[in-house]
């Protein structure tokens, strides 16, 4: 059994979207055991209407983190919020992972406090997988660390490489550092420092150098490293464009009798493609570098998106990637510290 703690009160459509998403996920995976944290009076009726939540339980609390809270405000709200209690259950070993669609800053701050960063990790990062023309690409940081320096980016690379390797079995994932051009002189100074360190063969990173925004989806990369500001902009830009594309496609195919007929014939193929780029199917980002599994769902997602975030959490529990990532950080830090001493 995989036991998941869900923050039932996080996200724009909570708690309905959380409960309905859990219903979908449990319908597809009988090994899930769900614990909802939040307002019992609102959650209970939703569970009663669900088909696959017979085993789910509720831990009641009336408090919740607000989307407008800063991280420190959220922490001051105390340990009785649904988010904090859900994380605490992972920290106590009562559940295997937490999923929340709530305030990202608060979720990261509370997760750091309770799950603690792995030894040697200075800044946990948010990572997720995205579609490309080839295999999925793992990108980090997606918004936990707005200001970054070279050291942070090198650590994100170690985390991302180990995470990708642990999940896919690919021993040498191709890793790129996001910049505004491939040439050596481009971008921020700290990017050049990070790039030089990542190119050091001793670190064992299959480093492809600077990559541009257009390279993320070209299928030639397995891991893309960037700061949390750019990563978040790129992630949401991709969502916006996917949504634009779907709308334009629908509009085009509705234009004439012939195009509507064409759509009917090609419907299966087109829906497969739409599914391939549907942001809901990639919903669920992991907080990487913590001693526990915390998954962040998009706040505005629907039940299908939330069900996917639950699937991400259960796959992460299944894969048990934490020891691999932790070992990779320890190894890299030993090398980097020796180099610092030498230098």
- Interface with a copy of itself (CB under 8 A): 67-68, 70, 104-105, 131-133, 143, 146-147, 178, 180-181, 183-185, 187-188, 212-218, 226, 228-230, 232-245, 247-249, 251-253, 255-256, 258-259, 261-270, 272-273, 276-277
- By beta-carbon proximity to a copy of itself, the closer residue of 1 and 257 is 257
CB of 223 to a copy of itself, least distance (A): 16
- By beta-carbon proximity to a copy of itself, the closer residue of 281 and 331 is 281
Asked if 118 contacts 290 with a C-beta cutoff of 8 angstroms, the reply is: yes
- By beta-carbon proximity to a copy of itself, the closer residue of 28 and 241 is 241
Strands 293-296 and 285-288, how do they pair? antiparallel
CB of 77 to a copy of itself, least distance (A): 15
CA distance 286 to 295: 5
CA distance 138 to 304: 21
CB of 226 to a copy of itself, least distance (A): 8
CB of 102 to a copy of itself, least distance (A): 13
Residue 320 CB coordination number (10 Å): 11
CB of 315 to a copy of itself, least distance (A): 24
Strands (E), 61-149: 97-100, 125-130, 137-140
Helix (H) or strand (E) run with residue 1 in it = none
- By beta-carbon proximity to a copy of itself, the closer residue of 4 and 9 is 9
Helix (H) or strand (E) run with residue 203 in it = none
CB of 157 to a copy of itself, least distance (A): 17
- By beta-carbon proximity to a copy of itself, the closer residue of 116 and 281 is 281
Task: Calculate ∠ Cα 112-115-117, nearest 5°.
Answer: 55
- By beta-carbon proximity to a copy of itself, the closer residue of 52 and 236 is 236
CA distance 294 to 285: 8
**CA dist 216 → 178, 230, 238, 274, 298 (Å):** 9, 13, 10, 19, 20
- By beta-carbon proximity to a copy of itself, the closer residue of 117 and 187 is 187
CB of 48 to a copy of itself, least distance (A): 34
CB of 108 to a copy of itself, least distance (A): 13
CA distance 208 to 220: 10
Helix (H) or strand (E) run with residue 175 in it = strand 174-178
- By beta-carbon proximity to a copy of itself, the closer residue of 252 and 334 is 252
Residue 37 CB contacts under 8 Å (≥ 6 apart), including other chains: 5, 6, 7, 8, 9, 58, 59, 61, 82, 83, 85, 86, 89
DSSP 131-173: --SSS-EEEE-SSS-SS--HHHHHHHHHHHHHHHHHHH--SS-
């Amino acid at each position: 059994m995989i036991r998941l703690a869900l923050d039932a009160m996080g996200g724009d459509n909570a708690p309905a979207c959380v409960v309905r998403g859990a219903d979908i996920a449990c319908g597809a995976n009988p090994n899930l055991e769900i614990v909802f944290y939040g307002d019992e009076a609102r959650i209970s009726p939703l569970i009663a209407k669900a088909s696959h939540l017979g085993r789910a339980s509720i831990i009641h609390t009336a408090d919740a983190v607000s989307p407008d809270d800063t991280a420190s405000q959220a922490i001051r709200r105390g340990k009785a919020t649904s988010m904090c209690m859900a994380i605490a259950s992972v920290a106590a070993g009562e559940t295997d992972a937490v999923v929340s669609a709530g305030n990202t800053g608060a979720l990261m701050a509370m997760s750091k406090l309770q799950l603690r960063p792995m030894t040697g990790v200075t800044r946990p990062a948010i990572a997720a997988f995205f579609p490309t023309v080839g295999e999925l690409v793992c990108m980090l940081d997606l918004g936990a660390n707005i200001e970054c320096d070279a050291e942070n980016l090198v650590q994100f690379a170690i985390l991302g490489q180990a995470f990708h390797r642990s999940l896919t079995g690919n021993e040498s994932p191709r890793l790129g550092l996001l910049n505004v051009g491939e040439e050596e002189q481009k971008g921020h100074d700290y990017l050049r420092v990070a790039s030089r360190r990542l190119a050091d063969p001793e670190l064992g990173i299959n480093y492809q150098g600077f990559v541009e925004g257009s390279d993320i989806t070209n299928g030639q990369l397995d891991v893309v490293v960037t700061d949390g500001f750019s990563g978040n902009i790129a992630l949401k830009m991709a969502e916006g464009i996917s949504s634009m594309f779907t709308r334009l496609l629908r509009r085009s195919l509705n234009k004439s009798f012939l195009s509507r007929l064409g759509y009917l014939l090609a419907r299966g193929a087109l829906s497969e493609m739409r599914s391939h780029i549907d942001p809901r199917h990639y919903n669920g980002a992991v907080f990487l570098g913590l001693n526990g599994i915390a998954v962040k769902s998009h706040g505005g997602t629907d039940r299908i998106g939330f069900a996917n975030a639950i699937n991400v959490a259960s796959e992460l529990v299944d894969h048990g990637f934490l020891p691999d990532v932790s070992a990779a950080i320890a190894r890299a830090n030993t090398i980097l510290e020796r180099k610092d001493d030498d230098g």
